Amino acid sequence: MNIQQNYKIVSFTLSETKMKKTMANLTIEAVENHEIFNAKLWEEDYLKYEKKYFKPNNIIFVEDGTYSEQYKNLIIKKMSLVEEASAGLSEEQCDALYNNLVNVINDLKNEKVKQAILLKVEENKDRLKVAPAAKNNHHNYIGGLLKHTLECVEIAKGVFKSIPTKIDEDLILSACIMHDFGKVFEYNIDTETGFVEVDENFIRTWVSHTQYGFAWANQNGFIELARIIAAHHGRKDWGAIIDLDEKNIEPELYLMHHIDDISAKFGIIKAENI
């Protein structure tokens, strides 16, 4: 196998070996034929490179290494950076999205919900502006959470015009804003490289962003909003608190789940698509 070619980095993680050394683990895609490989760098090779070399969507050229048929992975000894990928949205783009979000909030009709959301958003303005919506999945880049949130808002507004079922539109728009708000705290992003890490302290306290949002809404007395947030993942084995297979579910719960899913599958889900 000719390993000397260009690859796109799909994902990157670090792990510790039995000898207490660092190992870099990559999933890479051959640019020429799109074949996927698992790749590794031992600590002595990994430490030769700046962290930015391992940014997802970077194009690298593998100059030296070995491919193991037994373990089906590529051990990289030497590589070079061909093309550095974007880490996400610019500061100006994040500012513009934040201002758009505030305008959406100010248009909400329920004054109590509006003020509570505004307070939460303004208290966490700096983190919200750069927050990703995931570590490895959709919108996992600087400003990704804002982008996903506003995509949900626009999808919802389009749906409102198209369905005959009576829907509490204000409630759905509030859910679009708050269903993933816990991700502001669930993920930490390196604004230089775009690397996303899960905040383990948040996970120990809240389990996930769904539980955080559900608790926030309940504590503020927004029971209907809490139920939508609880169900937005759709199934309990997907992380939902309320499973949409349950009987007598309000239509808003189904609708928010599908709005979220459409953005996650068809929105600007990767930094390379910006």
> 78: domain CATH number?
2.40.50.140
Does the pLDDT of residue 272 top 80, yes or no?
no
Identify the band that residue 137 occupies on the pLDDT scale cut at 50, 70 and 90: confident
Backbone angles phi, psi at 48, to 5 degrees: -75, -15
**Shared-domain flag, residues 198 and 239:** yes
Residue listed under structure tokens 């037994």:
70
Identify the band that residue 199 occupies on the pLDDT scale cut at 50, 70 and 90: very high
How far apart are the C-alpha atoms of 67 and 14, rounded to whole Å?
20
Backbone angles phi, psi at 260, to 5 degrees: -60, -45
**Shared-domain flag, residues 242 and 132:** yes
In a domain, 168, yes or no: yes
Which of 56, 83, 110 represents a domain boundary (last residue)? 83
Average pLDDT over residues 153-179: 96
pLDDT score recorded for residue 119: 98
pTM: 0.85
**Shared-domain flag, residues 55 and 111:** no
In a domain, 44, yes or no: yes
Parent domain of 169? 91-273
Identify the band that residue 11 occupies on the pLDDT scale cut at 50, 70 and 90: confident
**Shared-domain flag, residues 212 and 76:** no
Identify the band that residue 270 occupies on the pLDDT scale cut at 50, 70 and 90: confident
Q: How far out from the chain centre does Cα 172 lie?
A: 21
**Shared-domain flag, residues 166 and 46:** no
In a domain, 1, yes or no: no
Identify the band that residue 117 occupies on the pLDDT scale cut at 50, 70 and 90: very high
pLDDT score recorded for residue 56: 83
Percent of the chain with pLDDT over 70: 100
**Shared-domain flag, residues 102 and 235:** yes
pLDDT score recorded for residue 26: 96
How far apart are the C-alpha atoms of 261 and 255, rounded to whole Å?
10
**Shared-domain flag, residues 137 and 242:** yes
**Shared-domain flag, residues 77 and 102:** no
**Shared-domain flag, residues 77 and 121:** no
pLDDT score recorded for residue 201: 97
Identify the band that residue 1 occupies on the pLDDT scale cut at 50, 70 and 90: confident
pLDDT score recorded for residue 110: 98
Q: Give me the helix-helix angle, 144-160 and 169-178, nearest 10°.
A: 170
Tell me which H or E stretch contains 156.
Answer: helix 144-160
* Number of domains within the chain: 2
Q: Are 147 and 97 in contact (CB under 8 A)?
A: yes
Q: Are 143 and 88 in contact (CB under 8 A)?
A: yes
Paired tokens of 152: 């949900």
Q: Residue 57 carries which side chain, given as an amino acid letter?
A: N
**Average pLDDT over all residues of the chain:** 95
How far apart are the C-alpha atoms of 177 and 120, rounded to whole Å?
11
Identify the band that residue 72 occupies on the pLDDT scale cut at 50, 70 and 90: confident
pLDDT score recorded for residue 271: 83
